[in-house]
Amino acid sequence: MSGQASFGRPMHRPTRIEVDLGAVRHNVARFGELTGTDVCAVVKGDGYGHGAVPVARAALEGGASWIAVALVEEGLALREAGIDVPLLVLSEPPVAAIGDLLEARLTPVVYRAPFLAALDAAARARPEPVGVHLKVDTGMGRVGAVAEDWDGVMREAAGAAGLRVDGLMTHLARADEPSESTTGEQLVRFAKAGRQAGLLGIEPRWRHAANSAGALAHRDARLDLVRPGIGIYGLSPGMDVDAAEYGLRPALELCTEVVFVKHVPGGTPVSYGHRWVAPRDGWVATLPLGYADGVPRALTNVAEVLIDGRRHPVAGTVCMDLLMVWCDQHRPHVGDRVVLLGAQGEDRVRVEEWAAIADTITYEIVTQLTARLPRGYVDHG
């Protein structure tokens, strides 16, 4: 589609998210160009707040050959939507989920001998071995077989008649800090894990380690497959790896309209706690969204929005459903379009700005935009 965004439900307030699927397609293709490897597009967390199903379709159009999710439930939703490509489940689910996982032809990431045994027992009833990706912990310290368990877990996987180890993987802890040595050290350990697996007869088709930051900033991490998540949405993995510098385009826009305007004299306090006072006579606009929509209260008195292509600061405490903006001598009008995240005129408010103000990361900003905000989709090619 192109032009006007399409929303799946009636909209009685003007606040909404618009996602440019053309940007997603472009970003996935860009990862393929930059890395020269196959791309596994990560759409967990409802496509990082962008909508998992539309994003997955756009990612496949952009050249992704795999899609990754965090949960079996997320994989099932994609299958129900007709996504029929390899779907990688990035963490071991409960044993009770194995039946649904196998029925939906999801590819599990495995790293514990008990889960491997349960999966093997269920898979043996199937006509062909079930492909799995074996995860080793090389320094992330989250999930994955730790070094002292590599031999036992690898032997369990190699001896499982119902399973076939198609992938060997790890996850990078500090790829978004290119000056740190951690990524190189993890890749050395991962190579060691690969050699150990080979001695046990495991020769996986896919060896992969790189998240968005790893794929962009670390050539040695690209291997056979990269797993970009935040980058396919055009957002930066960290302060030292800027998505824009790699030609990635933000896909998400958060916009609304002015719903109330008032002229206030200098010295007028605004919003809860009177944490902001008008510095002089001027105009204040009220916008119909707040922290119930995922707008961080940390943006109080600091963040800026775009009205008529001009930046205006948030004035006073962000409320649950409303926030105010100081327009100074520029008179706004009810119905004026407001962009909180995205471009208007020659300027753009980036998700990275909100993340810096809230002392967090881009991932948290977009995944905390709540379901109360309708998502619409455009395609700018």
Contacts of 33 (CB under 8 A, 6+ apart): none
Query: Nearest CA to 331 among 282, 260, 376, 375?
Result: 282
What is the mean pLDDT of the segment spanning 225-235?
Answer: 98
- DSSP conformation letters of 304-334: EEEETTEEEEB-S---SS-EEEEEETS---T
The answer to whether residues 254 and 17 touch, using CB atoms and an 8 Å cutoff, is yes
Report the alpha-carbon distance of residue 353 to residue 264 in Å, rounded. 28
Residue 267 CB coordination number (10 Å): 10
- CATH class, domain 21-235, is alpha beta
Domains 21-235 and 252-360 share a fold: no
Residue 381 predicted with pLDDT over 90: no
Q: Say how far apart CA 141 and CA 321 lie, in whole Å.
A: 39
Position with higher pLDDT, 3 vs 279: 279
The DSSP 8-state label assigned to residue 373 in this structure reads S
Listed by start position, the domains of the chain span 21-235, 252-360
- How far is the C-alpha of 311 from the C-alpha of 291, rounded, in Å? 21
Amino acid at 325: V
Q: What architecture does CATH give domain 252-360?
A: Beta Barrel (2.40)
55-75 pLDDT, tens per residue? 999 999 999 999 999 999 999
> End-to-end alpha-carbon separation of the chain, Å?
9
Could you read off the pLDDT of 103-154 as tens digits, one per residue? Answer: 999 999 999 999 999 999 999 999 999 999 999 999 999 999 999 999 999 9
Q: Quick one: pLDDT at residue 314? A: 98
Q: In percent, how much of the chain has pLDDT > 70?
A: 97
How high is the pLDDT of residue 1?
37
Asked whether the predicted pLDDT for residue 346 surpasses 90, the reply is yes
Q: Which tokens hold the place of 31?
A: 């990862």
- Give catalytic residue positions: 44, 272
